[in-house]
């Protein structure tokens, strides 16, 4: 018969393996965030011309997710104080709904992200560098993204060397994109859907929505954009530099539709100035200022629609994405059409569809 001593040894051995496994899991769980943090930091700092960091990484193993806290990506020779990317909180997880359909893809949620585009910095970077940092970000997500959400985002576009400094921005950005990896609706030309809204400079209401296919090298899409009720005075830094004009009052609106099929684009941009009052630059005083304001007044009288007090045009866009034509003469003719023939409506025209880009691409 087995001795009592041997029985105790066998009893202890029975628990050694489970205890060892549990211990390894605990150690692995403790170490994994540090391993991931080191991987993310190294990935960001391998980008030529950029320096990146993260403040913390947390794991949620029960739902197959991890959170990146305080991701910063900055140009090494930046002319601005703000980093290119400032992502306070990003959650990356398995898209369980897609997993039930047999596809292993991810969903990403970002809280309060900031994108700061400084024109002078980007002029120094070549196209390869831009591709490097965008690819590095996608490398932080281990599997293809299918669902992407942004809460309260901000996008700044700044020209630091301008006098005064030109700053264009969008704030309170909400964005949601579905089916980016084509898990469902696989037979559709444009299987993915995107919608977004934001507040522009001047307090304008921005809306974007449409369908797209991101699985192609040049994505196909059918998108609509609208900017409504922005105060025209918010454009003064821009118009003062390039046109020598300030807005004293009025509203600026912009509408656009774009369709892209196999790299061929067809669409339009429709800017509108409503109830605007223009003045010359402050440093142009005396007689010159009066002559200038008189010229502006005549310009507005001749080219605006008097019944709606609207100065507007429609800029057609068509052609290969590497050589998009803006239709200069059509733009000029549309100014006079709005003024004397038919006022443009303050809305999206809804006359550009994905099939228009497909048809024109085949004809070209």
Q: What is the pLDDT of residues 309-349, one digit of tens each?
A: 777 888 898 888 776 666 666 666 665 666 666 666 777 78
Which pLDDT band, with edges at 50, 70 and 90, does 110 fall under?
very high
Taken in order 289, 290, 291, 294, is the CA torsion positive or negative?
positive
Distance of CA 166 to the CA centre of its chain: 19
Convert the pLDDT of each residue in 35-71 to its tens digit: 778 888 888 888 777 888 899 888 877 777 889 999 9
The structural domains of the chain, with segments of one domain joined by +, span 1-184, 235-364
Q: What CA–CA distance (Å, rounded) separates 28 from 72?
A: 27
Convert the pLDDT of each residue in 27-37 to its tens digit: 555 556 677 78
What are the contacts of 355-358 at 24+ separation with CB within 8 A?
A: 355/259, 356/259, 356/266, 357/220, 357/259, 357/260, 357/261, 357/264, 357/265, 357/266, 358/261, 358/262, 358/264
Q: Quick one: tokens of 30?
A: 């403790």
* Cβ count near 187 (within 10 Å): 7
Q: What CA–CA distance (Å, rounded) separates 4 from 297?
A: 108
| pTM for the structure as a whole | 0.79
Q: Quick one: tokens of 129?
A: 């560098």
Q: What CA–CA distance (Å, rounded) separates 242 from 280?
A: 12
Q: Closest by alpha carbon to 188, among 166, 218, 158, 221?
A: 221
Instruction: Decide: helix, strand or coil at residue 323.
Output: coil
N-terminal to C-terminal alpha carbon distance within the chain? 93
């Amino acid at each position: 018969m087995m001795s009592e001593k041997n029985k105790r040894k066998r009893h202890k051995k029975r628990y050694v393996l489970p205890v060892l496994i549990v211990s390894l899991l605990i150690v692995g769980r403790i170490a994994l965030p540090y391993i991931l943090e080191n991987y993310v930091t190294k990935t960001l700092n391998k980008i030529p011309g950029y320096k990146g960091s993260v403040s913390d990484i947390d794991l949620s193993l029960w739902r197959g997710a991890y959170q990146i806290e305080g991701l910063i990506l900055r140009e090494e020779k930046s002319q601005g104080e703000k980093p290119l990317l400032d992502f306070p909180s990003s959650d990356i997880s398995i898209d369980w709904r897609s997993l039930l359909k047999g596809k292993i893809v991810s969903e990403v949620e970002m809280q309060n992200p900031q994108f700061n585009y400084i024109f002078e910095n980007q002029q120094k970077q070549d196209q390869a560098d831009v591709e490097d940092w965008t690819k590095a970000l996608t490398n932080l997500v281990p599997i293809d993204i299918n669902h992407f959400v942004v809460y309260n985002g901000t996008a700044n576009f700044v020209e630091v060397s301008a006098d005064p400094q030109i700053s264009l921005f969008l704030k309170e950005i909400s964005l949601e994109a579905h089916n980016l990896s084509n898990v469902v609706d696989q037979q559709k030309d444009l299987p993915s859907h995107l919608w977004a809204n934001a507040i522009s400079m001047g307090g304008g209401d921005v809306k974007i929505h449409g369908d797209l296919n991101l699985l192609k090298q040049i994505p196909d899409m059918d998108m609509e954009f609208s900017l409504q009720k922005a105060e025209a005075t918010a454009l003064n830094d821009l118009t003062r530099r390039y046109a020598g004009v300030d807005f004293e009052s009025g509203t600026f609106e912009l509408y656009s539709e774009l369709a892209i099929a196999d790299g061929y684009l067809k669409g339009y941009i429709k800017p509108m100035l409503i109830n605007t009052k223009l003045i010359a630059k402050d440093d142009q005083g005396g007689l010159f200022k009066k002559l200038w304001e008189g010229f502006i007044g005549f310009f507005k009288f001749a080219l605006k629609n008097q019944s709606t007090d609207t100065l507007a045009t429609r800029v057609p866009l068509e052609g290969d994405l590497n050589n998009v034509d803006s239709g200069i003469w059509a733009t000029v003719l549309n100014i006079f059409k709005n003024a004397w023939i038919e006022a443009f409506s303050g809305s999206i025209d809804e006359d550009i569809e994905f099939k228009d880009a497909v048809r024109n691409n085949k004809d070209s």
